[in-house]
Amino acid sequence: MEKAIDRQRVLLQHLRPSFTSSSVEDIESSISASICSAGDSAAYHRASVFGDDVVIVTAHRTALCKSKRGGFKDTYPDDLLAPVLRALIEKTNLNPSEVGDIVVGTVLAPGSQRASECRMAAFYAGFPETVPVRTVNRQCSSGLQAVADVAASIKAGFYDIGIGAGLESMTVNPMAWEGSVNPKVKMMAQAQDCLLPMGITSENVAGRFGVTRHEQDQAAVESHRKAAAATASGKFKDEIIPVKTKIVDPKTGDEKPVTISIDDGIRPNASIADLAKLKAVFKKDGSTTAGNSSQVSDGAGAVLLMKRSIAMLKGMPILGVFRSFAAVGVDPAIMGVGPAVAIPAAVKSAGLELDDIDLFEINEAFASQFVYCRKKLELDPEKINVNGGAMAIGHPLGATGARCVATLLHEMKRRGKDCRFGVVSMCIGTGMGAAAVFERGDSCDELCNARQNETHNFLSKDAR
């Protein structure tokens, strides 16, 4: 047995070059942590050494504004991203040259143009030329994918500090198909379904799974009510970075300087009666309306991640811990069911059960799919989108994932010990879903709530 322990000690010393101490006590503590499970969740198992956890130090977003008529209608996309990137540095006093990469989720803009805009935004925010930038597009989960990509790169050892962000100006880049569609698409039903308008997929979900118009309108009203309450109580102040910009009068061309710090799509007085008057948009006698769908929006968000040992060395606050991520594929015709498949996959990957999750941020692309996923997973409505969702706040496609991470982690921090694990999830156009699991930043230490695992599974014969 002593030989096996000695081998683990030596291996850990080689595998952990960035660890701040090489003392025997630290190494033994790491070994102990790796074979312990959390006491309040039988399924939860810490899969990595404590110092190697990927943590979120801070996460911020802009307000989300209605495209073409909201507060950011005259704001360049790079001027949306720059303030949230700058905020990550200013609020942590991190040297920007230490950032290994900036990954930005974005959907609608031409790839080369948006990549250039993101690089420009990094310069505006004060990052030196040595910090690289790239974009990622997984449609509605692009912002979450950016965060997951950075977490994976930190885990892989490519760098210790990175930023996952999201950006979309649906004013500047409306949803449209450029060029012609390959005629071959007509030969395959699934390929054809990739071209379905998202509203039709919403109708498909409602029709196939019996989600009623009343249920959809009720979900929309609740979203607005909760978002309005969160705004009135100041809950979003910690996550929203005010943006100085301009509003141009379309008639006179006069420019007015403004500072945008409040989501402008929230309707505090939304009611079932008012929403019931709206006509279906995508299908005659359908149930998907402008009132029970996500809002077309402009906005940006950014999340600063790093290895826990680095955050501790720098004395950084830890807002959350990145635990797992899953992306899945589903039938394109009912793409909205994605979270119902992705959430269980991500939760299982984290070694948890659905009942272990205290809060969910599920993107409300459409009320039909949101209600379906909630019912399918039998989730407690009191745990989901407690501060409203995309039907009220908005859905700037590439930015939504980063926005949801910021909203989730700040709410988990407010709730403290009563909230340990949270999930961000969304459906994705063409038939996919994504989800990630986060742990509240101050909820664990090296042996927090730990108990010994009776099965050691040593690989060495010396342990026999």
Q: For position 363, what pLDDT does the model report? A: 98
Output helix, strand, coil percentages for the chain, rounded to the nearest 5: 40, 20, 40
Write out the E strands in 189-252: 243-248
Cβ burial, residue 396 (10 Å; 0-12/13-18/19+): buried
Q: Fill in the amino acid letter for 93.
A: N
Annotation marks residue 419 as catalytic: no
335: nearest Cα among 434, 225, 463: 434
Cβ burial, residue 353 (10 Å; 0-12/13-18/19+): middle
Annotation marks residue 427 as catalytic: yes
Q: Which helix (H) or strand (E) holds 428?
A: strand 421-428
Instruction: Give me the catalytic one of 36, 65, 140, 404.
Output: 140
**For the chain, domain boundaries:** 2-48, 50-173+207-440
Instruction: Give me the catalytic one of 65, 373, 419, 427.
Output: 427
Q: Which two tokens stand for residue 56?
A: 């979120």
Q: For position 460, what pLDDT does the model report? A: 53
Q: For position 44, what pLDDT does the model report? A: 53
Q: What does the pLDDT profile of the chain (464 residues) look like in tens digits?
A: 566 666 666 555 555 544 444 333 443 333 333 333 343 444 455 556 788 999 999 999 999 999 999 999 999 999 999 999 999 999 999 999 999 999 999 999 999 999 999 999 999 999 999 999 999 999 999 999 999 999 999 999 999 999 999 999 999 999 988 899 999 999 999 999 999 999 999 999 999 999 999 999 999 999 999 999 999 999 999 999 999 999 999 999 999 999 999 999 999 999 999 999 999 999 999 999 999 999 999 999 999 999 999 999 999 999 999 999 999 999 999 999 999 999 999 999 999 999 999 999 999 999 999 999 999 999 999 999 999 999 999 999 999 999 999 999 999 999 998 899 999 999 999 999 999 999 999 876 554 444 344 555 555 555 44
User: Check: CATH 3.40.47.10 for 50-173+207-440?
Assistant: yes
Q: Which two tokens stand for residue 49?
A: 């050494």
Q: For position 50, what pLDDT does the model report? A: 84
Q: For position 56, what pLDDT does the model report? A: 98
Instruction: Give me the catalytic one of 60, 224, 395, 410.
Output: 395
